[in-house]
Amino acid sequence: MKWKRSERLVDMTYYLLEHPHQLIPLTYFSDLYQSAKSSISEDLTIVKETFEEKGIGLLMTVPGAAGGVKYIPKMSDQEVKGIIQELIKELGQSDRLLPGGYLFMTDLLGNPDLMNRVGKVFASAFAEKQIDVIMTVATKGISIAHAIARHLNVPVVVVRRDSKVTEGSTVSINYVSGSSRRIQTMVLSKRSMKSGQRVLITDDFMKVGGTMNGMKNLLEEFECELAGVAVLVEAEHADEKTLVDDYYSLVKLHEVNEKDRTIELSEGNYFSKEREL
């Protein structure tokens, strides 16, 4: 079957989008479409220019016999700001207030389109860093972890509060919850990670950072390296020091007034962290 250029472009684009951060040899496309490498290179130039013009991402070419092409998902600052403002608008609705000053976020975490975009936001921030694994703690951070992992093309590991027989042998640690100051437990299967891996940890909400700090300590037990921290919403605490210093957040929660049913939110530190880089 001889492929037309229009057919190659569509199929090639789809394949690249489905395999982010994966080096694909030009011979793969050449053999698949039964076309010369020069024709494939011309096709990839068109895809590259379109991706960059539309803000879809970058198409990196690696020269040499072992080289190829790699799609790196990226989002423009304008797109990221739009997602942050969408989150602030949704989270600022008074009917999200729960007893105790908590915010109802389950519907947002279960929105596949929103989580996919949030995942791409964080994947953009860590696109140039080596990430081998995404780690989160059960249960609300799981959708964010999988969204980031989808765009970085890496596996997800889920830390649990108690061991399950289906997990096999496990490693457990005790940590101090940053908000309640209570001793809690984290458990992770020994088969989840290999020593030396670089891990991005994420969660939906960070108060003082006790849970994040616990996951950092768990990484040490596996002899893994912390590559970064990504949180959807962080809480502002004027009277408490955050246990995690280096992290990305999209939204900052300043104050919840249960009496007036108001929620004060602002943009997180995402862009200030980007400027540091």
Domain boundaries along the sequence of the chain: 5-73, 77-276
Q: Is the pLDDT of residue 125 over 90?
A: yes
Per-residue pLDDT tens over the stretch 138-193? 989 999 999 999 999 999 999 998 888 788 899 999 988 766 678 889 999 999 99
How many CB atoms within 10 Å of residue 49?
11
CA distance 102 to 19: 38
- Residue 2's pLDDT band (boundaries 50, 70, 90)? confident
Q: In terms of C-beta density within 10 A (0-12 exposed, 13-18 middle, 19 or more buried), how is residue 187 classed?
A: middle
Per-residue pLDDT tens over the stretch 88-123? 999 999 999 998 778 999 999 999 999 999 999 999
Q: Are strands 170-176 and 262-267 parallel, antiparallel or unpaired?
A: unpaired
Top-level class of domain 5-73: mainly alpha
Q: Is the pLDDT of residue 238 over 60?
A: no
77-276 has which CATH code?
3.40.50.2020
Q: Report the pLDDT value the prediction gives residue 276, as an integer from 0 to 100.
A: 65
Q: Report the pLDDT value the prediction gives residue 163, as an integer from 0 to 100.
A: 81
Tokens coding 209: 């950072």
